[in-house]
Structure 1
C-alpha cells in the first residue's frame, strides 16, 4: 500500500476534480439560475474565461459558435451588477438582430433571480418604443451597432458615459459587415475606464486592430480549433448539372421529409423562390433572410424551432451565432465562397454531441470551391446516393412549382413598388437613415449589385 506522500505524487493532473460553476467563483443567485436552465458543467471557454473575468480583467475570447461564450461574458457582468447595481451597466454589440435577441433572452434568464432589466436595440423595430424602454433605466443594452449609434445621436437622455462593461460579440463578423466606422464612433462615446470583452470566431487583422483600440492589457483565451467540423457530422455532396439544382433539392427534401432541415442559399431571391417552390409542393418551409421585417424573421425562427415548420430556407444570416436546437440536416443549395462560412453553416447540425448530416449541391462551376473546403476541413465528403428514375419523375412538378414561384415573386415586387411610391408621396421623400442595420449578410461579398443580392 503506497504512503500518503507516494499517493499524492502519483496522482495525475487528469484526476483533478472537474471545474464546476461554484468552483469558478460564481455567487448563489447565478448558480440557482444555471441550475434552473440545466447548465450542469461549464464549457471550456467558460472554464478559461470566468476566473480572469471575475478578477476584472479584459478578455479576448477566440471561440466558435456553440461554445457557450454568451454565458462566459454574461455571468461576470451579472455578478458585478449584483455587487454594484447602478444605472446602465453594460452594453453588448452583436452583428445581427437575431443574435442580439438571443443574447438578451439568455441574460434575462441568467439574471432572473436578480431582476435584471435588459433592452434590445435593433433595426426594423419601432425606435420610439426602444427610446421609452431606455428611459426606464435598464441595466444592460444589447444592440446592433447601427441602431445603437442612432439612439446615441437622437434619443434625449440616453448615453453610455457611465458604462462599466462593453462586449463585442462575433467581432470578426461585425467588421466583415463594415460596422467598423460606427464602432469607432461608439468607442468615443463610452468611458475609457471600463471592462471590455471581445469574442470572435477568428482573429483577423481587423479584429486585432479593434483589440488594440478597445482593450487594456487583456487575457487571451482560445478554445476553438481553426476551421474544423465535429466528428459526429456526416458530410456528403451531390455532383449535378446547374440546371438540375432545383429538382435535386426537392428530391432530397422528399427522402428527408421526416427531418428538420436548413437549406442555405447565397441570395435573398433564391431563399424566397425556393421556399415558395417547397410550399407549393407540400413541404412546410419558411424563409429567413435580411430583407424580411424583424417580426417576420422572429416568426420564421420561432416556427422552425417549435417544429411548426420542418424546413428553413436561409441566407447566411442564420449561419452563425443562432442557437437552433435539433437540426437534423443542413443542405447547401449554393456553396459558400469562403470555407469558414461552410463550417459555420454545417455547424447548425451535430451540436452538443448529437449526430447530423450535411449535403452540398456541387455543379460544374463549383469544383474548385468544394476542393478548397475539403482541404480546409481535412476530409473528403462522401457521394450522396440518388435514384435517377425518381428524380426524372419529379422534374415536371418541380418546373411547374418554379413557374408559380417566379409569378408570385413578381407580384410581391409589384406590391412593394406601389407601397414605396405611396410612402414617398406621403413623406415627401424617403429618409434612409434608419435603414435596417444588418441587411448585408456576413461573409458573402458581391462585386456588383443584382436583383438577387442579399
Structure 2
C-alpha cells in the first residue's frame, strides 16, 4: 500500500537509511563513492587569505560538491554541476575562480570573471558573499553588480573603475554590451548560476546573447539544483567550443537526503474552490500548536495573478499575509523580502516565477496550493525549507487529481508523504479521528 492512501488512512514511518554520510559523484558515465569529511580547505591549494576568512567564520571543511568542483576549477576546467539547494554551490565557484584571479599574472584592467544569475536577489547575494570572502578592510580586486531595477548610469560609472569581477543578470549585462559600455573579450571564466532557470524558454535569449560575446573556450562553471541532459546540450551550444576536448566535466552529487530526511511532507485534501479556506484553517491550526506557532511560511500559488487574490482573502480573515508578485517595483520587492527574511513578515505568498532567486535560510513551512507533474518544480519549492541542517515541512493542499500526482512524485523522489486532516482546530492523521 502506498503511504499516501486516504481510503485506508495509512502512512509510513520514516525508516529509510540516511544518505548524509555517503555521496556519489557521477562524471559522465563513471560513478565513484567517497566518504564525507575527509578534507578541509587547508588541503586544497586556494588563496590563503580566503581560507583564513572561511576559518574565521567557522567554515573548515568543504561540502561534497565543493570538494569535487574546486580542484577541477582550479585547473581551469569547465564544470557543469548539479547539487541540492543549500549545499554550498556559490563557494564552489567563487573560491577557485578568485584564487585563479589572484594568481593571474596578466596585466589588464578589463573584467576577467563574469557571474550570471537569474535574478536581482541571487546576484546581490553572490556579490555579498564575494565581499565577505575578501574579508573586512581588504579588497584584492573590485567587483561590480549589474542588475535591472538599479541605476544603469551608476553601473556605467562603476565600469570606469575597472572591476575584475562582474556579477549580474543576463538582461542587464546584455544592455550594457549593446550600449558598448561593457566589453567581455578578456573574460577568462563565466559562471551560470541556477542554470536551469536561466535556460528556461522565457529567459534563455538574453543568456545566449551574453555568452555569444565571450572568448572561445572560456572556462565555464554552471550549477543548478537540477540539471537535465537537454539543458546541458543547450548550454554547450551557447558556449563556443573549438573541440570536443573543451567540453565540460559533468558532475552530480547524489542527493544527501535533504528532501527525504530534513523535510517532512504533508498532504491535505481540499476541493479547488475551498483551498483558501483550507489554508486559513491550516494557519490557525499551526498557530494554536506551540511547536508550530510563530514560524515562517512561504506559500506557492498559480497562476501568478492568484498571488494577490489569495493574500487579500487571508488578510480579510485578519491573517497578515504579504504577496510577492511580478508587478512590484524593485524597491518594494526588496523591502518585502527583507521583512520576510527578518521575521517581521511571517507569511509570504508568491508564484514560481516571482520566487526565482528568493534565497532565505530559515523558512519553516512551504505550502503548495497547486501541484503539477513537474518533479523539478516540486523540488525547487520544497527545497526552500530544511536548509543548513534544519528541519522543515512541505505541505501540499490538493484536490483528488493533485493528490494522485503527489502519489507518483512520492514514489519517484523517494519521499514519505503523511496525509493530514484539519479537525477541531487541530492537524491530525486520518487514523487519529477514526
CA–CA distance in 2 between the matches of 1:38 and 1:304?
A: 26
Aligned partners of 1:168 and 1:198 also within 8 Å: yes
CA–CA distance in 1 between the matches of 2:142 and 2:426?
A: 55
CA–CA distance in 2 between the matches of 1:15 and 1:328?
A: 30
Aligned partners of 1:96 and 1:317 also within 8 Å: no
CA–CA distance in 2 between the matches of 1:105 and 1:251?
A: 39
Report the alpha carbon displacement of residue 144 of structure 1 after superposing the two structures with TM. Answer: 1.6
More deviation in 339-348 or 189-198?
189-198
1:350 maps to which residue?
386
1:163 and 2:210 aligned? no
Report the alpha carbon displacement of residue 34 of structure 1 after superposing the two structures with TM. Answer: 1.2
1:150 and 2:175 aligned? yes
1:76 and 2:96 aligned? yes
CA–CA distance in 2 between the matches of 1:230 and 1:116?
A: 41
CA–CA distance in 1 between the matches of 2:204 and 2:210?
A: 10
Report the alpha carbon displacement of residue 120 of structure 1 after superposing the two structures with TM. Answer: 2.1
Aligned partners of 2:118 and 2:357 also within 8 Å: no
2:227 maps to which residue?
202
Report the alpha carbon displacement of residue 212 of structure 1 after superposing the two structures with TM. Answer: 5.1
1:139 and 2:164 aligned? yes
Compared with structure 1, are the counterparts of its residues 39 and 276 closer, same or farther at alpha carbon in structure 2 (3 Å cutoff)?
Answer: farther
CA–CA distance in 2 between the matches of 1:15 and 1:158?
A: 44
Aligned partners of 1:165 and 1:196 also within 8 Å: yes
CA–CA distance in 2 between the matches of 1:280 and 1:134?
A: 48
Aligned partners of 1:359 and 1:384 also within 8 Å: no
1:189 maps to which residue?
213
TM-score by length of 1: 0.76
1:99 and 2:122 aligned? yes
Aligned partners of 2:115 and 2:192 also within 8 Å: yes
Aligned partners of 1:240 and 1:361 also within 8 Å: yes
1:284 and 2:320 aligned? yes
Compared with structure 1, are the counterparts of its residues 373 and 307 closer, same or farther at alpha carbon in structure 2 (3 Å cutoff)?
Answer: same
CA–CA distance in 2 between the matches of 1:134 and 1:177?
A: 30
CA–CA distance in 1 between the matches of 2:415 and 2:248?
A: 36
CA–CA distance in 2 between the matches of 1:344 and 1:26?
A: 31
1:262 and 2:298 aligned? yes
More deviation in 189-198 or 256-265?
189-198
Aligned partners of 2:366 and 2:393 also within 8 Å: yes
* 3-state SS in 2 of match to 1:56: coil
CA–CA distance in 2 between the matches of 1:40 and 1:117?
A: 26
**Alignment deviations for residues 295-316 of structure 1 (CA, whole Å, 9 cap, x no partner):** 2222121111111111111111
* 3-state SS in 2 of match to 1:124: coil
2:73 maps to which residue?
53
Report the alpha carbon displacement of residue 365 of structure 1 after superposing the two structures with TM. Answer: 4.2
TM-score by length of 2: 0.80
1:315 maps to which residue?
351
1:369 and 2:369 aligned? no
Aligned partners of 2:263 and 2:391 also within 8 Å: yes
Compared with structure 1, are the counterparts of its residues 325 and 188 closer, same or farther at alpha carbon in structure 2 (3 Å cutoff)?
Answer: closer
Report the alpha carbon displacement of residue 27 of structure 1 after superposing the two structures with TM. Answer: 2.0
2:41 maps to which residue?
21
Task: Name the structure with the higher helix share.
Answer: 1
**Alignment deviations for residues 18-43 of structure 1 (CA, whole Å, 9 cap, x no partner):** 20111111122101221244323211
More deviation in 305-314 or 210-219?
210-219
Task: Show the 5 A alignment for 1:320-399.
Answer: 322-387=358-423
1:42 and 2:62 aligned? yes
More deviation in 280-289 or 292-301?
280-289
* 3-state SS in 2 of match to 1:167: strand
Higher relative contact order (CA 8 A, sep 6+): 2
Compared with structure 1, are the counterparts of its residues 388 and 246 closer, same or farther at alpha carbon in structure 2 (3 Å cutoff)?
Answer: farther
Within the candidate set 70, 90, 93, 2:113 is matched to: 90
